[in-house]
Amino acid sequence: FLEVNQAWLDDMGYKREEVIGHWFGDFLQPDQVDLFSKRFPVFKATGTADTEFYMNRKDGSVVLMAFSGKIGCDANGNFKQTHCALQDITQRHLADEAIRESQRKYQALFESIGEAAFVCHINNREWADEFVELNAVACDMLGYTHEELLKISARNLFFHPSSGLVSKEITDELYAQKMVTRECNLPHKDGHNISVEMTFHIFDLQGRPAVLILAHDITIRKKIARELEQSHRRLVKAEKVAGFGYWEFDLANGVVHPSDGAREIYGLKEEILTIPFVQQIPVPEDRPAMDKALNNLIKQNIQYDIEFKIKRPTDGAILYIHSIAEFDSKRNVVFGTIQDITKRKQAEELLRESEARFRSTLTSHP
């Protein structure tokens, strides 16, 4: 050092005489000395330098200094000295590192969500043309690379004609409620649609309004729902054709859960059905036998298999019913089936009457 200003001395804690005449490397961290030795020839050759070095304060603390220098030459153009400006950038560096660490944590969290995630700006209810960020799950779901998907506008991705979403409706609700969830379709790169459940959440991103969008693939759930609906329709049709139904007595809550077929046979229109109400539908003379059979099933696990008659409340029709049931003691539930056997009973009665007339005819003609 040939000269040094007071500001640097105050920052580093040295006196002038402790610095003047000493080599610059004497104030560097040990691992920075070799780095300085490598960089100085480049500095000398190019005439300028802008770099950073870790330096030692007198009190033993370490600071990061921004080094900006120029080469000074004599009248013949030969190297004479260096003119350097040193600035303590330790706090700025720590702040930058904290920001980078925060960004690393944010990116790690963003990627670990497990759902397709997108972030885009929105300004005055207008969606931005490009995404700010999106995760790998989103790319895998839609078949795009990260770079390709970033360039697709939110309007084209979320509000395309087959999405099932209306941009204005979602945007208005988002501004009013801050969060919106909808089922819709997202277009895959190959052209087919993917059924998803989308959640839009508006928030502040570095002073600007932005939207976080999470998309959960519900393709399998939709398929299962369709299959269950189809199975239910088939069951309802089968019940109707066979005059069949099933029911469940929830003994703890005193309610009955009948199938559509059981409702039709019993003529049940009420949404919520209690056990006492349903037990009034069989004709009074059959009630004692039915109560005994149910009691034996619950208390002694004796098979419940009984025939009885009902008077249907919707039209007053008298029907013959065959019912089989079992008791689930863990759930405290009786599950049973019923079948309308009226036609069979009527056929049996006709057969008995026919046989009686035939015997009467034989008797009257010896």
Among the listed residues 358, 262, 239, the one whose alpha carbon sits nearest the alpha carbon of residue 310: 262
pLDDT of residue 174: 92
244-254 pLDDT, tens digit per residue, is 899 999 999 99
| Per-residue model confidence as pLDDT tens digits over 151-173 | 888 888 999 888 888 889 999 99
Highest mean pLDDT pick, 37-46, 226-235, 289-298: 289-298
The confidence score (pLDDT) of residue 43 equals: 80
Mean pLDDT of the chain: 86
Let me know if domain 236-347 sits in CATH 3.30.450.20: yes
pTM to 2 decimal places: 0.48
pLDDT of residue 192 exceeding 80, the answer is yes
Say what percent of the chain tops pLDDT 70.
91
- Domain range 113-217, CATH class: alpha beta
User: Residue range 224-243: average pLDDT?
Assistant: 76
Domains 113-217 and 236-347 share a fold: yes
How would residue 202 be classed by pLDDT, with cut points 50, 70 and 90? very high
- Among the residue ranges 11-20, 35-44, 87-96, 208-217, the one predicted with the least confidence is 87-96
Mean pLDDT score, 327-336: 95
Who has greater pLDDT, 333 or 240?
333
Task: Please say if the pLDDT value at position 365 is more than 80.
Answer: no
More confident call, 364 vs 340:
340
Cβ contact 193:148 at 8 Å: no
The three-state secondary structure class of 71 is strand
pLDDT in tens, 266-300: 999 999 999 999 999 999 999 999 999 999 999 99
Longest CA–CA separation in the chain, Å: 159
Alpha carbon distance 136, 256 (integer Å): 49
Which position has the higher pLDDT, 103 or 51? 51
Mean pLDDT of 302-307: 95
Give the architecture-level CATH label for domain 6-94. 2-Layer Sandwich (3.30)
pLDDT attached to residue 366: 55
Given a cut of 80, whether residue 81 has pLDDT beyond it is no
Cα dist from 158 to 24, 111, 146, whole Å:
60, 21, 17
More reliable by pLDDT, 145 or 205: 145
pLDDT at 364: 59
Per-residue pLDDT band for 93 (boundaries 50, 70, 90) equals confident
Contact 157, 187 (CB under 8 A): yes
Determine the pLDDT at residue 333: 96
| Residue 359: per-residue pLDDT | 67
Work out the pLDDT band at 363, boundaries 50, 70, 90.
Answer: low
Count other C-beta atoms under 10 Å from residue 261's C-beta: 25
User: What is the domain partition of the chain in residue ranges?
Assistant: 6-94, 113-217, 236-347
Helix residue spans in the chain (DSSP H): 6-12, 30-46, 90-111, 136-142, 146-150, 154-158, 167-177, 219-242, 260-266, 275-279, 287-300, 342-364
Beta strands 318-328; 244-250: pairing state: unpaired
Q: Taking residues 48-69, report their average pLDDT.
A: 87
